[in-house]
Structure 1
Amino acid sequence: MTRWDFIKEGDIIDVVAPGYPVQLPEVDGARDFLLKWKLQPRIPKNIIKPHFLHAHEDEMRFAFLKAAIESKDSNVIWCLRGGYGSNRLLPMLAKLKKPKQPKLLIGISDITSLHTFFAQEWGWSTLHAPLLDRLGRGQVSAKHEKELHRILFGPDKGIEFKKLKPLNAQARNIKVLKSSIVGGNLSVLQTTLGTPWQIQAKNRFLFLEDAGERGYRIDKMLEHMRQTGVFKQCHGLILGDFIGGNEPGTNTNNFKKVFKRWSDDLDIPVFQGLEAGHDVIQRPVPLNTSCVLQQQNGKVLLSIDSGGRG
């Protein structure tokens, strides 16, 4: 893995919108949030342009992202919003030479496409963490905002998750396992299958989360992954938050049944309970860094290196 530099007060933060647009007040909110942290937000003046799907035309979204990647005076690329659109930029990214200076990419949801590309093509460590539109609207609790700040600025060299639950015998039999974590949004990861940037989970934990997908769709996406070999020699699945997706005319979903089916079917460990995804709590998950999963007396501890240095 390639380490990123801890943030310092006064650092420039390059802001990009590779997927859906936001409203102008949300751009202002993102700027205010970064200023509150005593950082220098660099937001292109025309970052948002009316478009029927995205924050801007593909070429302009890529141009803003390329400028952020190649800027020599910043170390962080923070995404405004997820939505849809990042995967359309991958063929253009593939034409770039690997940058000499690694950057820290921050975002969730649609940004999973970029996390996967940067990890697999350039060896970067990235951070699955709240988007700027959410932070700018004050939708992250003070407790979790502080946790994110400590990871980015460096007092904390890693993060611990203590609420994981093993869903099958393979998971319950683990005592200590050293690995790393890849993944993110399930439906976005499905779009990588069969492409040059297909998610690679061999000898790694695969983290998955999603929002608004019904049980049958989650099952279908997992089956697609199985048939393309994603789970072969994978160290295990770590399930984050799955929200929404209620069955028509009901207030319930089929997630529990779906995950039981897969924990029974797969010959790899399956854990549930990572506090990350689209729910109210969105704890940061370092991707493509070292991690250790330990289990004793039925309690699971997942410790993940932040990937930062300095």
Structure 2
Amino acid sequence: MTRWNYFKEGDIIDVVAPGYPSQPHEVEGAHAFLLKWNLQPRIPKNLIKPHFLHANEDEARFGFLKAAIESKDSRVIWCMRGGYGSNRLLPMLAKLKKPKEPKLLIGISDITSLHTFLTQEWGWSTLHAPLLDRLGRGLVSAKHEKELHNVLFGKEKSVEFKKLKPLNDQARNITLQKSKIVGGNLAVLQTTLGTPWQIEAKKSFLFLEDTGERGYRIDKMLEHMRQAGVFKQCHGLILGDFIGGNEPGSEETKHKLVFKRWAADLDIPVFQGLEAGHDVIQRPVPLNTSCVLTQKNGKVLLSIDTGGKAS
């Protein structure tokens, strides 16, 4: 585990767009948000250009990411939005030499590809936390914006989750488990299977979330993971928010039935209720840092080290 440096006012924040494009007003909102925190946003002039799928051509998106990784005057890479595109950059990213000093990557959703690469290949600690377009549009509540600020500026040394619910006996029987958190978006993690950057969950809690996926698709992705051996020696599954995915002609989903099935099928603990993902509340989840899960009198507490340090 490597530690990132706590933010200080005046720090330069490198903004990248490895996936979908953002609209000009969203970029302006992100710029204004970072200024509000007394940070210096560095948003390349040609970061976003017309493209039929992404924020820019692969080579351009990678070029901006590479520049952010290699810049000597910044320590943070914050993504504008998710969507799709980050996994196309991994073969190019794999050719880079690991920097001597780690940086902090922030983002969710499609950014899971980059989280997985940076944590597994370079040993960095990263942060699964709101994207800049969301923060710039004021879609994060004052309470949760403050929590994120406190984490990034070192006012909070850990993130605590108190609403986890055990879904099987293996989870109910845990009293203490020291581990780390890996994972992110389920659909993105499925795309890592069979690649050099396949998600590695041994001796870790695997955190999963997603949006717009029907029950059968979630089940299919979990089965693919099982057949790929992802759950072997995994300390357990921790399910975040799964939103959308209603069955055709219905306002209901089959998510509950799917997770009940997997909790019964797997011989590892399965918990539900992490407040992270694509829903309204998107609490920060530090990845590849130490964590402790305790359970007493039916109450579960997951405490995750933020991974930060004073510079």
TM-score bracket, normalised by the shorter chain, equals over 0.9
Q: Which residue number corresponds to residue 169 of structure 2? A: 169
**Quick one: distance in 1 between partners of 2:120 and 2:161?**
25
Kindly provide the CA deviation profile for residues 146-183 of structure 1, in whole angstroms up to 9, marking residues without a partner as x: 00000000010111000000000000000000000000
Structure 1 length as normaliser, TM-score? 1.00
Q: Which residue number corresponds to residue 8 of structure 1? A: 8
Deviation at 1:127, TM superposition (A): 0.2
**Quick one: distance in 2 between partners of 1:218 and 1:93?**
29
Q: Note if 1:309 corresponds to 2:293.
A: no
Q: What does residue range 213-252 of structure 1 map to in structure 2 within 5 Å?
A: 213-252=213-252
Kindly provide the CA deviation profile for residues 207-230 of structure 1, in whole angstroms up to 9, marking residues without a partner as x: 000000000000000000000000
Q: What does residue range 1-310 of structure 1 map to in structure 2 within 5 Å?
A: 1-310=1-310
- Letter of the aligned partner of 1:111 in structure 2? I
Where does the alignment leave 5 or more consecutive residues of structure 1 unmatched? Answer: none
Deviation at 1:309, TM superposition (A): 0.1
SS in 2 for 1:78: strand
- Letter of the aligned partner of 2:275 in structure 1? E
Kindly provide the CA deviation profile for residues 250-298 of structure 1, in whole angstroms up to 9, marking residues without a partner as x: 0000000000000000000000000000000000000000000000000
Kindly provide the CA deviation profile for residues 84-138 of structure 1, in whole angstroms up to 9, marking residues without a partner as x: 0000000000000111010000000000000000000000000000000000000
**Quick one: distance in 1 between partners of 2:17 and 2:279?**
21
**Quick one: distance in 2 between partners of 1:93 and 1:60?**
13
**Runs (4+) off by over 4 Å:** none
- Letter of the aligned partner of 1:47 in structure 2? L
SS in 2 for 1:127: strand
Where does the alignment leave 5 or more consecutive residues of structure 2 unmatched? Answer: none
**Quick one: distance in 2 between partners of 1:287 and 1:62?**
22
SS in 2 for 1:48: coil
- Letter of the aligned partner of 2:216 in structure 1? Y
- Letter of the aligned partner of 1:87 in structure 2? N
SS in 2 for 1:140: coil
- Letter of the aligned partner of 1:145 in structure 2? E
**Quick one: distance in 1 between partners of 2:139 and 2:155?**
23
- Percent sequence identity over aligned pairs: 84
Alignment size in residue pairs: 310
SS in 1 for 2:87: helix
**Quick one: distance in 1 between partners of 2:159 and 2:199?**
24
**Quick one: distance in 2 between partners of 1:92 and 1:288?**
23
Structure 2 length as normaliser, TM-score? 1.00
**Quick one: distance in 2 between partners of 1:203 and 1:235?**
5
- Letter of the aligned partner of 2:266 in structure 1? L
SS in 2 for 1:170: helix
**Quick one: distance in 2 between partners of 1:31 and 1:22?**
12
Deviation at 1:202, TM superposition (A): 0.3
**Quick one: distance in 2 between partners of 1:264 and 1:285?**
26
- Letter of the aligned partner of 2:146 in structure 1? K
**Quick one: distance in 2 between partners of 1:166 and 1:73?**
44
**Quick one: distance in 2 between partners of 1:183 and 1:38?**
31
**Quick one: distance in 2 between partners of 1:135 and 1:97?**
32
- Letter of the aligned partner of 1:78 in structure 2? W
Root-mean-square deviation over aligned CA pairs: 0.2
